[in-house]
Structure 1
């Protein structure tokens, strides 16, 4: 696939790295030559220096025969104009834009074919907020990722001494929780993947990925670790886009405090967040943290634009007694270094965001993609189409399907409404779709489970290099016998 990426910042660079490793034809455009040089030194791709929305630059980048444009610059307006030009001048089939301004997102008609011709608008800050919100909802989890519009969740937890399943075989899980079904998709032990079997023994410190119906998450987590107390008191370091969004979501149900050093930002936050305590000061001010009872905080979220500040603030908060700390860290090397540092969860914004883009780049009927383990693994939701004559999966038991190495099927959701029915619905139609979604059946995969047409299949791919083979497995082939 020929893809033009506009913008070589954190998001653009991470996307370029992921896509270039999959044998795509990638061109990256940016105004800053040094950014492009760094990419070219380590990746097989083309670069063009210039304005992302200038027609001549777009021609140099190969827009005339590109399959997709990813407009990921830091300017919403540049991204919108680029998508409009890609549609009107080059008839580019797929156009994706990064949009940060809420006003644009609240008026989806802006993205229609009659206006800026954006097929999909991605808001990294909104994605990050939802991601952190899930971690606060399930405080013992390292990751909580939704599939099938929220029917199924993939959860990563660290197995801790005291959990009923520690030191026991996985097949005993059903005996401990007989009234619910779950599947362990993968285990990472000392950063090495283990494809789980019934005889696999869970050890203390294992990072366990399990798939379950979203309503069963807490019960399964309780088998792997002592359940953490629910979160009530939240302190947020940084009142920028992400900190502000998170406070908006949490302030009705939690006690929320924001520390922000810019007095003008504080004034704006005070006017808009009526149930949040706004504190003017430095997030690494030890006296301020102590005076605001940091030791009583259930969770401390370091969400400033300065990753070094986030690291220092999170480490200080943990040392001073905060029960759990989360830090936003852009550089993947820093994320790796934070393991066992005292920071409970280090989040790479680009890695969290990339899954939303990959679902549009993947071949076949890919509905959802989540990037895992800093891009080394993926979890995918694919829709099974065709019949026994044209599909390698429909009508077959899971044990009969030749899955690529290091790949497991975790769950199937049956009876979901088609993915293209959600736009421009009347209130009555929305009620009908919601009823259909509620009735959809969650089936945890076992060896004798048969995949049916239109099933949503959730897979865990330990080795990202196997993703293309997974996609091909689900593609409909009229010549397949």
Structure 2
């Protein structure tokens, strides 16, 4: 595919690296020549220095022959205008834009071919808010992802020393008399992911990724580790878009406090939020945290725009007695460095945005794509189509598919039925498959496998 990416920042750069490895023709446009050159040195892409929304620049980049335009600059207006120009002048088939401002997002009727022609709208703040909300819903989880319209969830959790699974083979989880249907799809150990089998022995500090039906998630989690008590008291540091949205979603069922250092923003939050307590002050103030009973806090969420503030305030909150701390980290290089010590969970807005973009970029009948462990692996949901005589998948068992190494089918959803990826399971037309991909370089092989009559649907 020929893809234009507007913006060489963290999201645009990371996305370009992902897609370049998959043999796409990528051109990145930005006004920052230094960022462009650094990106060009990291991966095989074309770069163009210029204003991303200018018709002449888009023409020079080959917008007329592009299959897709992805506008992820830091300016909402530039992203929207670029999509309008691509639609009006170059008839670009697919236009994706990142839009942050709630002033635009509240008016979704704006985004259609008759107004602002954006085919896919990506809102990082909403993606991150949803991600944090799920982590609060499932205490003990490091990541929670939905598949098949929420019927299936993929959950990541850490195996602690003296936990029920440490030292045990995974098959013990499934052979118990009261076992619940689930599948451990991957384990992240010593900085690398791998696909385990029933004989794999769980070690302390392993990050375990498992699939289960949504209704069974809590039960499976309880059997994998000591149960965590539910979250009731939440303190949020940072009253920006993410902090405000999270507070709005939590306040009907939780005790919520927001710490915001900007007085004017505090007044705005107090007017917009119903039951949330809004506090004016610094999230790194030990006196403020102590006065607000941080030792009674179930989860402390550091969501300011400053990575240093988020890291330092999270560490301070943990040392003062917060049961769990979560930090928003914009620099993806720091995420793995800070998570797992005093900071329980580190979230990268860029990586969450990438996951939302990939399912719209990849070919085939893809429903969703999610990154695991900040891109170390991916979980992909796709729909199988075709008749047996025209398909290398339909009518075959999972064992017969001979999937490339580093790729496994974890779950098959057939109508309302959830089936786990046993080798004898036979694939049918219309099945939803969730695959775990450790080696992204094998994705082209997977796409070819799911072709129908030589075409990717």
SS of residue paired to 2:13: helix
SS of residue paired to 1:282: coil
Distance 2:307 2:281 in 1: 17
Cα distance change of structure 1 residues 26 and 162 upon mapping to structure 2, 3 Å threshold: same
Residue aligning to 1:421: none
Written as runs of structure 1 = structure 2, the 5 A alignment for 1:384-403 is 384-403=384-403
Residue aligning to 1:44: 44
Distance 1:198 1:316 in 2: 41
Cα distance change of structure 1 residues 112 and 479 upon mapping to structure 2, 3 Å threshold: closer
Residue aligning to 1:109: 109
Distance 1:234 1:150 in 2: 25
The structural deviation recorded for 1:162 is 4.1
The structural deviation recorded for 1:35 is 2.2
Gaps of 5+ in 2: none
TM-score, normalised on structure 1?
A: 0.92
* Pair 1:15-2:32 in alignment: no
The structural deviation recorded for 1:467 is 2.0
* Pair 1:473-2:449 in alignment: yes
Are 2:11 and 2:350, in contact at CA under 8 Å, matched by a contact in 1?
yes
Q: Residue deviations 1:429-456, cap 9 Å, x none? A: xxxxxxxxxxx22112211111111111
Are 2:332 and 2:350, in contact at CA under 8 Å, matched by a contact in 1?
no
Are 2:261 and 2:281, in contact at CA under 8 Å, matched by a contact in 1?
yes
Q: Which moved more, 1:23-32 or 1:400-409?
A: 23-32
SS of residue paired to 1:73: coil
Residue aligning to 2:71: 71
* Pair 1:249-2:249 in alignment: yes
Residue aligning to 2:424: 448
SS of residue paired to 1:389: helix
Cα distance change of structure 1 residues 69 and 338 upon mapping to structure 2, 3 Å threshold: same
SS of residue paired to 2:153: strand
Are 1:376 and 1:464, in contact at CA under 8 Å, matched by a contact in 2?
no
Distance 2:177 2:266 in 1: 48
* Pair 1:191-2:191 in alignment: yes
Q: Residue deviations 1:166-198, cap 9 Å, x none? A: 322212212336353111111122223332112
Are 1:53 and 1:78, in contact at CA under 8 Å, matched by a contact in 2?
yes
Residue aligning to 1:420: none
Distance 1:58 1:103 in 2: 27
Distance 2:405 2:82 in 1: 40
Residue aligning to 2:154: 154
Distance 2:70 2:16 in 1: 10
Q: How many residues align?
A: 456
Q: Residue deviations 1:95-120, cap 9 Å, x none? A: 11111223433333322122222111
Distance 1:78 1:332 in 2: 24
Distance 1:224 1:6 in 2: 44
Residue aligning to 2:284: 284
RMSD between aligned residues: 1.6
Are 1:300 and 1:325, in contact at CA under 8 Å, matched by a contact in 2?
yes
Which aligned segments of 4 or more residues in structure 1 are displaced greater than 4 angstroms?
Answer: none
SS of residue paired to 1:256: strand
Are 1:170 and 1:197, in contact at CA under 8 Å, matched by a contact in 2?
yes
The structural deviation recorded for 1:137 is 0.6
Residue aligning to 1:410: 410
Written as runs of structure 1 = structure 2, the 5 A alignment for 1:376-387 is 376-387=376-387
The structural deviation recorded for 1:374 is 1.9
Residue aligning to 1:429: none
Residue aligning to 2:173: 173
Gaps of 5+ in 1: 416-439
Residue aligning to 1:463: 439
Cα distance change of structure 1 residues 478 and 4 upon mapping to structure 2, 3 Å threshold: closer
Residue aligning to 1:131: 131
